[in-house]
Amino acid sequence: MKSTDNNQESLEMATLGGGCFWCVEAIFQQQPGVTKVVSGYAGGEEENPTYQSICSGTTGHAEVIQITFDPKVVSYNELLHLFWRSHDPTTLNRQGNDVGTQYRSTLLYHSNEQRNAAEKSREQAQEYFEDPIVTEITALEKFYPGEDYHQDYYLNNPQQGYCSFVIRPKLEKLGLKH
């Protein structure tokens, strides 16, 4: 999906989920070429879900991020490479201590080109994992931005416990600044 910003530059969007959106948001915000990251919900049935409703496990939504990026600086394939490195795509409905369908590994494509790239990338990534990758690849139907307090969570709360004990080590493992 292409969009245009105020400078009339051609930007694209990617939507993905790799567990808690606070973690993946913090990772992708540091990627050169990413101009915006919005934490939210996708892949479920309920209209206008809330954090409380998706945590019930009954809406079908996953915690995801929607990334706006400049493909002249970073390609969709490069984002996919970071995605596979940033979480464990072999655990169904779980990332670390976060358990539930809202934490599933998912790639939600915006075009057939993204679908094909995601499927090829998943096949290539499998060689780095002993267990089968369970990441779902589906068309994005609707994205719902999360509540304001979920946006820029790590940037706004670096000393919060989850940020200190879960996000910061993940950033360090990936060689990203914190």
Which residues are part of the catalytic machinery? 20
Which residues make Cβ contacts (< 8 Å) with residue 83, sequence separation at least 6? 16, 18, 24, 107
Distance from the Cα of residue 33 to its chain's centroid: 16
User: Rounded CA gap, 175 and 155, in Å?
Assistant: 17
Report the distance separating Cα 113 and Cα 109, nearest Å. 8
